[in-house]
Structure 1
């Protein structure tokens, strides 16, 4: 029964994708289309036709990694996952690993697609690289991780090689739904350590790669938001959520949704837990104006990952949402917090400021977030509470409004959404703009050499 369910899901995905490609190609095959002539100047994208072994076929292995979560249930709704409840219109149990599928489905609706690679300004590779990497990270090919991506490159060289050779890959881009750290194992590591070597392969040095977290020295990659569980289908649903965020009573000063911080070694998560426990016992509503100083939503062992109700309701009631780094600097929780209108508090520059420049403009960080160096908290005794309580209420209101203004930029609206909602650029639209500009700059640099 499980296999049949997965087969049906894949069939539906394939049918929808094929139909959309057909519709797109028929509408973009002529330059007289009024929606594509002027608006699409310098924005044409060609979707490379890859064999299904590089994308949809990979989804059939969704339950085959014993030490990795079964992601089969989250293939529903073209990667958005199952709805949080039967009557939900905007909320899904989204798994971040499915960003590649989400992005693939959305790009099929991009209005400036062309079926002629020679006129394209960029070439999209619908390769599910992070899903393909699971066999090296968790599966039987862990000792062959240097081969991750070689099959794709061989195909690009053998099938219509002129598409690649036109700019030697400088005009190509793809999405990989795991942090870049998972793909930068040195090729000469023996024995191999964690990760694959995709980003270390010279063959792909020229390709622009969109990932949810980039390295400190970005070469190929650019960071794009993790997908949250909020995917509105129309403008009415979106505006209803915005109104709910604005009206929500913020009864908690600060909130931390996450795990960790229970060990003996000093770290920022342990400091947060200790300060929360002490603050809740020593301060009252009378001297703060809040009914709760610090709220901790325990998300240990991944219990929150596919259950947004656990953390979104508390986030709607909190003024500040703490975003300490974990195994890696960035957190999906950052974008959950923005979606809830909760002001993010960062403790490390790599957590967001030096990552999401396309979606969260670096110069605007003081307007919508708070930065507290983790070293000051962990080793010098700086109290997070003192910093946050020191921000005037009028400034807090301005910051919250700035956060709310960012919501469209960090959400991935549902595929097939209404025309009204499409007037608001979302995370996908902003990522496409960034990729096109990056590729344009690279090609201009090459022409000047």
Structure 2
């Protein structure tokens, strides 16, 4: 208990020990926001066909307020919003407008941000009717024509290698082979025109150097340091009455993205069945049919009262719930390295850091080894649990996205957005220049 009693002080010291961004020190940090026609961003937010199939029959429109953060969960809250993670594109764009090292002259920039809402634009390709006239091989080509014809010297400088953009969708959604019309997705990342551009995504593939995973946009967006600290204190002192929690469904839930397989569907079913049969040990949150998409309270409150949160892969390896759970102080349990360890290197550290804040159980041990998750987790000592929870809460400053217009005290500490910008600048700095 002595270890945990010092948690609040430890976190406070941690917050203020993180490097503060200086508006005067912009060496290798200058970013120019490329000026694009509204068809590539603003118009996409108002397109009548802007429908998220995972929220069907609802649309994304209820979530567009406050630059993508969405409406508050209730009137009295100051930190919680009904955020759809797909809308990180307008959110990131808005946050970048507050970046202290923006430049108005592209010649002095170290990196070029493309405010192209690639995920929102992809909807017209991903969900076009089969008898429609939309060419899925054409995703992004109209943007490329603009880039090489409007102020072409900006693109020619490094062949696009100094350009980056962000999306709220998995990179698998943009990785279909141009030769295979039966595959899911568009060909955006398989188009040679964009091979040099860096994509920030909540889920990257293992091999392409152009992709980097960043944390999912969650519903937690405090505007002041004191509100952030109040939440951390609440998560620290919360009574963890349940051993483990699983929020999801017992099967893969749509999308059709590559990277899914029968074993991944089975591990979810196995976990679902174990939780369902042991309600005294496991809280089961049914998130089928997008039940959790609009209501973060549905899963955040149970996460506050659970020691471990189970995160098996689904249609694709990663889960937004990893970050929801960590914000609630729930220790993540992984079953596949691609769920986090091979993804979020800028925000969660390297392979050796994971044992400090998480548990890894190979899915094969559950599917073929006959082991029970509750038995494995139940053997972890209270002291080890305390250390892991402290490590989880220490990571919250690096994985949450504060809202724009936050207090100077909160702005002085790097959040997930700031670390993403730091990482992409370093990545671009070491990229070779290419002419296209």
Give yes or no for TM over 0.5: yes
Match of 2:152 among 152, 157, 161: 161
Structure 1 residue 90: deviation in Å? Answer: 0.5
1:175-254 to structure 2, matched below 5 A, reads 175-189=166-180, 191-254=181-244
Q: Secondary structure at the match of 1:210?
A: strand
Between Structure 1 and Structure 2, whose CA radius of gyration is higher? 1
Structure 1 residue 187: deviation in Å? Answer: 1.5
Mapped contact 1:184–1:198 kept (Cα < 8 A): yes
Distance 1:160 1:130 in 2: 25
Q: Deviations over 1:372-418 (max 9, x none)?
A: 01111011111111211111110110000000001111111000101
Structure 1 residue 260: deviation in Å? Answer: 2.2
Q: Deviations over 1:346-392 (max 9, x none)?
A: 00000000001111112210000000011110111111112111111
Scaled by the length of structure 1, what TM-score is found? 0.86
Distance 2:52 2:215 in 1: 28
Match of 1:61 among 47, 51, 56: 47
Structure 1 residue 97: deviation in Å? Answer: 1.1
Q: 1:262 to 1:209 in 2, by over 3 A?
A: closer
Mapped contact 1:250–1:317 kept (Cα < 8 A): yes
What is the match of residue 333 of structure 2? Answer: 345
Structure 1 residue 219: deviation in Å? Answer: 2.8
Match of 1:312 among 286, 300, 304: 300
What is the match of residue 60 of structure 2? Answer: 71
What is the match of residue 401 of structure 2? Answer: 412
Distance 1:432 1:325 in 2: 27
What is the match of residue 382 of structure 1? Answer: 371
Distance 1:174 1:206 in 2: 12
Distance 1:300 1:35 in 2: 45
Q: Superposition RMSD on alpha carbons, in Å? A: 2.0
Q: Secondary structure at the match of 2:344?
A: coil
Mean Cα displacement is larger for which, 296-305 or 60-69?
Answer: 60-69
Mapped contact 1:180–1:214 kept (Cα < 8 A): yes
Match of 1:393 among 373, 382, 404: 382
Count, aligned residues: 399
Mapped contact 1:63–1:72 kept (Cα < 8 A): no
What is the match of residue 27 of structure 1? Answer: none
Structure 1 segments of 4+ aligned residues over 3 angstroms from their partners: 34-37, 62-69, 140-143, 261-266, 277-280
Mapped contact 1:73–1:82 kept (Cα < 8 A): yes
Distance 2:45 2:383 in 1: 49
Scaled by the length of structure 2, what TM-score is found? 0.88
Distance 1:121 1:108 in 2: 16
Q: 1:207 to 1:65 in 2, by over 3 A?
A: same
Structure 1 residue 277: deviation in Å? Answer: 3.4
What is the match of residue 278 of structure 2? Answer: 279
What is the match of residue 74 of structure 2? Answer: 85
Distance 1:314 1:304 in 2: 12
The gaps in structure 2 that reach 5 residues or longer are 1-20, 254-261
Distance 1:88 1:251 in 2: 25
